[in-house]
Structure 1
Amino acid sequence: MIYCFDIDGTVCTQTPDNKIRAYNEAEPFVDMIEAINKLYDAGHRIIFFTARGSSSGIDWREFTEKQLTQWGFKYHELILGKPTADVFIDDKAVNVRDWGRCGN
């Protein structure tokens, strides 16, 4: 399977948009590191998809790649350019809290 995860507010604490200091202060959710790495180790494809830089035009790729690695996440791909929105409607969407309740 292919799993696609948002970053801010999903695998780490939510930070104010496009603030280097705020991104530096983000803390990973340890349970998410463990769950995602378990999926990776089981052979699933892991993609991170983030809106970092979508509204500011700042390229956060290098910073975000280093951050994910420092936190210990295993993944295959990082995609920047997720549109900024208050609500996402998707037929395959699962809220992170609901996903956690499923035993992940």
Structure 2
Amino acid sequence: MDGVIARQAKDNNYALAEPNREMIDIINKLYDMGNHIVLFTARGYVTGIDWSSVTKEQLSKWGLKYHELHFGKPNADYYVDDRMLPVDFLYKYFGEHADQ
């Protein structure tokens, strides 16, 4: 979530995170196209801090459309997955197909 939907917050103080409007617009378009949007976040995974209320309030305030939100994503430098779409691909695709 952070670094994609939200800008990286200083010292991982997620309450201060700012929205990434461009990515929120892209995700909302995917939602409107009928895609099932599931969010996974590692917020609090390392520290044990419960960021669920803050996160849900932010997503609501920012107008992000989604179906599910899951906490507890393991913290890692990289994730290897056969079904992922790189963020750069989404920016490029929706930049080229902005009128659709």
Q: Please, what TM-score do these two structures have when normalized by structure 1?
A: 0.80
- Percent identity among equivalent residues? 47
Give 1 or 2 for the bigger CA radius of gyration: 2
CA distance in 2, matches of 1:41, 1:91: 24
Matched, 1:96 2:87: yes
* 8 A contact 2:15–2:54 mirrored in 1: no
**Do the aligned partners of 2:26 and 2:94 also contact (CA within 8 Å) in 1?**
no
**Structure 1: tracts of 5 or more residues without a match:** 1-6
Correspondence for 2:72 among 81, 84, 89: 81
Runs ≥4 residues deviating over 3 A: none
CA distance in 1, matches of 2:45, 2:15: 18
**Greater per-residue strand proportion:** 1
Give unmatched runs, 5+ long, in structure 2.
Answer: 96-100
Distance 1:59 1:49 in 2: 14
Taking structure 1 as reference, are residues 16 and 94 closer, same or farther at Cα in structure 2, changes over 3 Å only? Answer: farther
Could you say which residue in structure 2 is the equivalent of 1:15? 9
Q: How many residue pairs end up in the alignment?
A: 95
Cα deviation, residue 96, structure 1 = 0.9
User: Per residue, is there more helix in 1 or in 2?
Assistant: 2
- Contact 2:42/2:75 (<8 A) preserved: yes
